Amino acid sequence: MGARRGNEDDTIVIRRISAKPVGRRSVLHAGLGGAATLLLAAGFGAFWWEGRAKPMPIGTATETEIDQTQPCTNIVTYLAPDKSVVVIDFPSLEAQGLALDRVAAFVEKASVPHNRVLDDAALNAAIAASGDTVASYYYGHDYQAADLARFFALAQSESIKLNPQELWLKRLLRQLGWLVPGANGAIITLPAAGGDVPPEMRAVILRHEISHGAFYTVPKYRHYVEQFWASLTPDDRAAFTGFLGRQGYDTSLTELMLNETQAYLIFTRDPRFFNAGAIGKTDAEISQLREGFIANMPNFWLTPLASSPLPTVPVAMPACPQKQAMLITGKRLCLCYRTGGLASA
Ligand SMILES: [Zn+2]
């Protein structure tokens, strides 16, 4: 999901957030062993963190549960209504960018090659040339398993040095079984609240990314979106393509254009990210396009999200102490703060 840019539409510009991770007020889950575990982890610190070879714990969470929690570190969950969609909740935009900006360039960013993997120097140059930073290159990401497998295979064959966050992602994908040909799945990601991302913006980003998850994993939905795109007038397609080009997407990739069109038009009801003016249309015209899309949409788990409001979220997300952040290692359900206490899924 693109960061907002300064351009002719009147959506706002969101640039850089504080590099300092912000998290929730963590509550130590009794099952983790309380103070003893905390002391142990504090003592062994980085060694324990880096040297850990056990499979990553992957819980299951609904959209609402994700919106209402705040990650202190990378948290991985299966999306409850469709477990082939895996959600990675990053503790900051910076952490998200380090793990995924190189993938973004490879899969879908404009003005960079898609047949080879960029090294650090080329990636940094591409990010700078787009007017962005590691943190702001995208606000949320989404990739299908096949593209991720292609990325890591090419990176290896080209001997590209990957950073620790990317190696973490590769380990996750191997665990999911997605680095082999024919795997069906998608990752979608969002950053913790903090800096330029207030809690309700997390919900906006997640809803947008969930629609991409469905596009990748539900063939009848992908087919429907392709039909919708084909049914648009050339002018309408050009309007969406122009908007997406200004967001930094490679407009030569038709599948990307139509996938992003469904995500922005139907599932991003926040004028800071998308509005009628951004594609040179009136509100009435946008409403008509939305109604047409929703009226004929196949009926499956995504369908209600096309017209339902976003889940309510806390006005502010409490900060997460650094020491406790080391403990949670992907367990959304252990140390994550929730309004109303901890829940298990
Ligand atoms: Zn998107």
pLDDT tens figures, 267-287: 999 999 999 999 999 999 999
Question: What pLDDT is attached to residue 195?
Answer: 83
Ligand 1 centroid to Cα of residue 20, in Å, is 25
How many angstroms separate the alpha carbon of residue 1 from the centre of ligand 1? 4
Confidence grade of residue 316 (pLDDT, cut at 50, 70, 90)? confident
Whether the per-residue pLDDT at 141 is higher than 60: the answer is yes
CB burial string 200-232: b at 16+ within 10 A, e below: bbbbbbbbbbbbbbbbbbbeebbebbbebbeeb
What pLDDT does 319 receive? 64
Phi-psi sector, 209: left (phi>0), alpha (psi -120 to 50), beta:
alpha
Give 260 Cα–ligand 1 centroid separation in angstroms. Answer: 5
> In this structure, is residue 1 part of a structural domain?
no
Classify residue 46: in a domain, yes or no: no
- Is 279 a member of any domain? yes
Residue 314 has what pLDDT?
85
Only one residue has tokens 């879908």, namely 108
Distance 271 CA to ligand 1 centre (A): 15
User: What gap in Å lies between CA 285 and CA 271, rounded to an integer?
Assistant: 15
| Cα 27 to ligand 1 centroid, rounded to whole Å | 33
Q: How many A from CA of 221 to the centre of ligand 1? A: 15
pLDDT value at position 14? 27
> How far is the centre of ligand 1, averaged over its atoms, from the C-alpha of 253 (Å)?
13
Q: How far is the CA of 324 from the centre of ligand 1 (A)?
A: 32
The pLDDT tens digits for 146-184 are: 999 999 999 999 999 999 999 999 999 999 999 998 999
Number of structural domains in the chain = 1
* Separation of CA 12 and ligand 1 centre (Å): 17
**Global pTM?**
0.81
**Within a domain: 24:** no
Cα 162 to middle of ligand 1, angstroms: 24
pLDDT of residue 205: 96
Give me ligand 1 centre to Cα 256, in Å: 9
The answer to whether residue 147 sits within a structural domain is yes
Q: What is the whole-number distance in angstroms between the Cα of residue 277 and the centre of ligand 1?
A: 18
Count Cβ atoms within 10 A of the Cβ of residue 181 and give its class: 0-12 exposed, 13-18 middle, 19 or more buried: exposed
The three-state secondary structure class of 54 is coil
- Count Cβ atoms within 10 A of the Cβ of residue 108 and give its class: 0-12 exposed, 13-18 middle, 19 or more buried: buried
- Residues 71, 16, 122: CA angle, nearest 5 degrees: 100
Query: Residue 72: what pLDDT?
Result: 85
pLDDT confidence band for 194 (50 / 70 / 90):
confident
Expressed in angstroms and rounded, the spacing between residue 310 Cα and the centre of ligand 1 is: 17
Kind and range of the H or E element at 154?
helix 145-157
**Distance (Å) from CA 267 to ligand 1 centroid:** 10
Q: Between helices 254-267 and 234-246, what is the axis angle to 10°?
A: 90
**Residue 48 maps to a domain:** no
User: pLDDT tens digit string along 226-283?
Assistant: 999 999 999 999 999 999 999 999 999 999 999 999 999 999 999 999 999 999 999 9
Residue 199 CA, ligand 1 centroid: distance in Å? 19
Mean pLDDT for 306-330 is 68
Q: Please report, rounded to a whole number, the percentage of residues in the chain having pLDDT higher than 70.
A: 77
**Is 258 part of any domain?**
yes
**d(CA 107, ligand 1 centre) in Å:** 12
Could you tell me the distance, in angstroms and rounded to a whole number, from the CA of residue 70 to the centre of ligand 1? 21
For residue 268, the CA-to-ligand 1 centroid distance in Å is 9
Q: Give the integer Cα–Cα distance in Å for 100 and 95.
A: 9
Domain assignment of residue 65, yes or no: yes
Q: From the CA of 33, how far away is ligand 1's center (Å)?
A: 40
For residue 274, the CA-to-ligand 1 centroid distance in Å is 11
Q: How far is the CA of 244 from the centre of ligand 1 (A)?
A: 9
Query: Which range marks the domain in which residue 292 is found?
Result: 54-318+327-335
